[in-house]
Amino acid sequence: MSQAPADAERFTEFVTRTAAATEALAARLARRLANGQTLALHGELGAGKTVFARGVARGLGITEAVTSPTFTVVQEYPRPDGGWFYHLDLYRIAGARDAEAFGIEDYLFAPDGVSVVEWPERIAELLAPPPGGVARLAGRLVAVYIAAESGGVRRIRLPASWADGLETEAAAVGPAGRPDGARAPLSQPQHRVIRHHD
């Protein structure tokens, strides 16, 4: 799993066993997001970041195909509510200078949309608050840590403040976001509160 933040922020860990369950969890999280917020998806290659991003898109009402913008860097999707969903994949970006060259500032914390950034490590200095400026990012940047395990299992860590109630919603919604309440034991996210330590 990617390096966790150095602070003592509490995280809740969810375990999903299918891509559909990962998407459903992300869709539930997306319904809590507002314009100006950015999700930073941390995880190794193949961890499920694009699957999670697709779930966020579904939760925001986007029905068109959502694929990784690895070669285009950013994909823009209009939302039914008039806002935008910005999906950025920074895998091929060398660092903050390259990101600034293509205009990343138009997408991070965009007042007209919600942004999801894959490989945020590439622009860590742009996401870090300036000295004394922690409040500037408070509530606007949500770090998500994803790790893939064998058999399609994914461990997804969300800040506890964002995860509160998602397990209740999971029980009410069922796998893949179906409102039928059906619960498949191998697909249902499981959760626990953890603390990251260096």
**pLDDT tens for each residue of 131-152:** 554 444 556 889 999 999 999 8
pLDDT of residue 169: 52
Six token digits for residue 183: 């619960």
Rg of the chain taking only CA atoms, in angstroms: 16
- Whole-number Å distance between alpha carbons of 171 and 169: 5
Work out the mean pLDDT of the chain and round it to a whole number: 79
Cβ–Cβ < 8 Å for 122, 99: yes
More confident residue, 32 or 192: 32
Lowest-confidence pick of 22-36, 80-94, 130-144: 130-144
pTM for the complete prediction? Answer: 0.78
Q: 106 and 130 in contact (C-beta within 8 Å)?
A: no
Show the tokens assigned to 187.
Answer: 């697909």
- When pLDDT is cut at 50, 70 and 90, the band that residue 182 belongs to is very low
Question: In the structure encoding, which two tokens stand for residue 93, read together?
Answer: 């970006």
Rounded-to-integer distance, Cα 78 and Cα 16, Å? 28
* Domains delineated in the chain: 10-195 (3.40.50.300)
